[in-house]
Amino acid sequence: MLTKYLSFLFLVLVTVLAEEKDVVDLTDDNFSHELERLENTLVMFYAPWCGHCKRLKPEYAKAAEMLLGNDPPISLAKVDCTESGKETCNKYSVSGYPTLKIFSRGDLVSDYNGPREAAGIAKYMKAQIGPAAKELTDESSLKSFLESDEVGVVGFFENDNSPLATSFHSVSKKLKEKVRFAYTSAKSLLDKEGYKNTIVLYRPKVLKNKFEQSIVKHEGGDSIADVQEFINKNYFGIAGVRTRDNSGEFKNPLVVAYYSVDYVKNPKGTNYWRNRIIKVAKDFPKLNFAISSKDDFQHELNDFGIDFVKGDKPLILARNANNQKFVMKDEFSVETFETFLKDLEADALEPYLKSEPIPEDNSGPVKVGVARNFDEVVTNNGKDTLIEFYAPWCGHCKKLAPVFDELGEKLANEDVEIVKFDATTNDVPSPYEVRGFPTLYWAPKDAKDKPVKYEGGRLIDDFIKYIAKHATDELKGFDRKGKPAKSKSDEL
C-alpha cells in the first residue's frame, strides 16, 4: 500500500514539474542576472500556501509553453516570496499573492492587469510586448497570421498615411490586448488579395459556419469611431465564444447557451450546437448571443437557480435590456429556441427572480428585505429608507448587525425604515449596485429611483447624524444635527 502511495506521489510530482518546465525559477541570488538576460519577462510573485497562486500555476505553465518561440521572445518566471525570494519581493513592494509584473531586460515596465487563464495570459503578453499591428510583407506572412484560432483584423493600404490607415493604427493600439491586428502596403499582396484601401476581418477556420460571412470587409467611414464600430460589431459574430476573460464585452440584451464548450478537445461537438444557435439567432438582430462553458460559468447558473446542466444539450439563459433574467424551461431544439426568443422580444415571459421566502413576521425594528418583497419593504413603503446589502459570512456585516438593530430601535417611531437584505441569496434590484459587503444605500421616500450610496461611519451616532440631516421631514426625536430633540417638559 505504501509503495503504491509513494508511486502516486512521485507521478504527481513529476507531472507538476513537467507542467512548470517552461517557467523560469527566480531567487534573490539570480533575479537581476536572469532578467537582464531575458528580453521580456512576466514574473509571478507567489506564496506556496496561497490558494489563488495554486489555481494560477497550471494556467501560468500552459501560457509559458504557448509563448515558446514567440517573436519577440517572452518568458514567464516565478519568485517564491516566502523562501528564496524574500528580499526581491520586498524590493518590489509585493504585499499580496499572486502579484504579477512585466519586466524588460531587468527593468520594471508595469504591473500585469490581464487575464488569469493560459490563452488570455499569452495573448495579453503578446499585445504588451509586440507592436499593436504586425506588418505583413508577402503572401506567406498573411497566411501565417491567419493560421490562428482567433479572429484577425488586417488593414490593406496603398498609402499607410491615409486617413483610414491612421484610424486603423489608432484603434489597433487601443484594442491590442483584445484583438489581433496586422497591416500591409506591399503591392504584391494588395494585388493578390484584391484590397486597396480597406480593413478586413477574418474569422478563424474553427469558427466558420454557413450562416455568416467568414471574411467581412469594412465599408464605412474613415474615422476612429467608424473603424472601432466595425470591429465591435463583427468581432464575435452572431454567437460569440464567451469566456471568463471576455464576458464583460457582451452586453444586454444577451442570450447565452451553456453547454460543454471546448474548442481544444471537442471543436466538432462544440460547433454542432453553436451552429444551431446561430441558425435561429441570425433572425433576431436586436438580441446579442453567446455560447459559454457550463463548467466555467457555474456561478451564473447558480444566479438563475440552476445547480448543474443535465445532458449534452445547451441550456438557454437570457437577460433583457433591464437586466431581468429569463430561463428557457423547454429542452433545447431549434423550434423551442425560436419560440423562446419570440416570447422574449415580445416581453411575454415571466422573469426569474432569485429570492428567499417572504418572512412570515416582519414586524421587527429592522425589516428583512428579500427580492420578492423589495417593492413593499423599500420602494413603495412611503418612508425614507436605509438599506444594508450584506452577506452572512461577512465579518464586517456581523460587526454591523448589533449597531443596525440598535439603530432600528432608536428610529422605530420615525418616518424612516431600516432594512437589511441578504445579497447572496436574493437578486439585487436595479438601480442598486453591490460589489462588496456590506453596501449601504439611503433611499429618500420621494426619490426611490435615485438611491444614494452611504459612505459614512458605521457607529450608531454616525447613522443618526446622517439620517437626521438627510431625512425628508425632520425627525421627531432628533434635530437636524442628530442631537436629541427637546421635549416640552425640557423647555418648561
Task: Tally the residues of the chain.
Answer: 492
Q: Tell me: do 230 and 309 sit in the same domain.
A: no
Q: Tell me: do 229 and 244 sit in the same domain.
A: no
pLDDT value at 6 more than 80: no
Confidence of residue 139 (pLDDT cuts 50, 70, 90): very high
Q: Give dist(CA 221, CA 195) in Å, integer.
A: 16
Q: Which of 206, 235, 264 is the last residue of a domain?
A: 235
Q: Tell me: do 301 and 396 sit in the same domain.
A: no
pLDDT value at 397 more than 90: yes
Please state which of the ranges 38-47, 164-173, 299-308, 406-415 shows the lowest mean pLDDT. Answer: 299-308
pLDDT value at 194 more than 80: yes
Q: Residue 50 catalytic? A: yes
- Decide: 129 and 72 in contact? Cβ < 8 Å: yes
Q: Which of 173, 202, 235 is the last residue of a domain?
A: 235
349 burial class (0-12, 13-18, 19+ CB within 10 angstroms)?
A: middle
Average of pLDDT values for 102-126?
A: 91
Confidence of residue 19 (pLDDT cuts 50, 70, 90): low
- What tens digit of pLDDT does each residue of 202-212 get? 999 999 999 99
Cis before 429? omega within 30: no
Edge-to-edge strand ranges of the sheet holding 215-217: 133-135, 180-184, 152-157, 197-202, 215-217
Higher-confidence residue of 9 and 272: namely 272
Which CATH number does the domain housing residue 334 bear? 3.40.30.10
- What tens digit of pLDDT does each residue of 31-86 get? 999 999 999 999 999 999 999 999 999 999 999 999 998 888 999 999 999 999 99
Q: Tell me: do 101 and 193 sit in the same domain.
A: no
> Which residue in the list 24, 42, 47, 53 is annotated as catalytic?
53
Name the helix (H) or strand (E) containing 143: helix 139-146
Confidence of residue 308 (pLDDT cuts 50, 70, 90): confident
Average of pLDDT values for 388-396?
A: 96
pLDDT value at 16 more than 80: no
Domain residues for the domain of 453 are 367-484
User: Has residue 193 been placed in a domain?
Assistant: yes
Q: Tell me: do 144 and 79 sit in the same domain.
A: no
**β-bridge mates for residue 228, sequence order:** none
- Decide: 386 and 419 in contact? Cβ < 8 Å: yes
Average of pLDDT values for 472-490?
A: 84
> Which residue in the list 50, 353, 358, 403 is annotated as catalytic?
50
User: Has residue 152 been placed in a domain?
Assistant: yes
Return the C-alpha torsion angle 132, 134, 135, 136, nearest 10. -150
Q: Residue 394 catalytic? A: yes
With a CB cutoff of 8 Å and minimum separation 6, the contacts of 314 are: 257, 258, 259, 273, 277, 291, 332
Q: Tell me: do 112 and 161 sit in the same domain.
A: no
> Residue 74's pLDDT is what?
95
User: Has residue 360 been placed in a domain?
Assistant: no
> Which residue in the list 394, 401, 403, 434 is annotated as catalytic?
394
Q: Which of 213, 235, 257 is the last residue of a domain?
A: 235
Confidence of residue 487 (pLDDT cuts 50, 70, 90): low
> Residue 430's pLDDT is what?
87
Average predicted confidence (pLDDT) for the chain: 92
Q: Tell me: do 68 and 163 sit in the same domain.
A: no
User: Has residue 359 been placed in a domain?
Assistant: no
User: Has residue 205 been placed in a domain?
Assistant: yes
Q: Tell me: do 402 and 426 sit in the same domain.
A: yes
What's the number of CA atoms in the CB half-sphere (13 Å) around residue 246? 21
How many folded domains does the chain comprise?
4
Q: Tell me: do 378 and 479 sit in the same domain.
A: yes
Q: Tell me: do 372 and 469 sit in the same domain.
A: yes
Angle (deg, nearest 10), helices 51-66 and 118-129 = 60
Q: Residue 53 catalytic? A: yes
User: Whole-model pTM?
Assistant: 0.73
Count, in order, helices (H) and strands (E) of the chain.
Answer: 16, 20
> Which residue in the list 66, 199, 397, 400 is annotated as catalytic?
397
Q: Give dist(CA 356, CA 39) in Å, integer.
A: 55
User: Has residue 351 been placed in a domain?
Assistant: no
- What tens digit of pLDDT does each residue of 406-457 get? 999 999 999 999 999 999 999 999 899 999 999 999 999 999 999 999 999 9
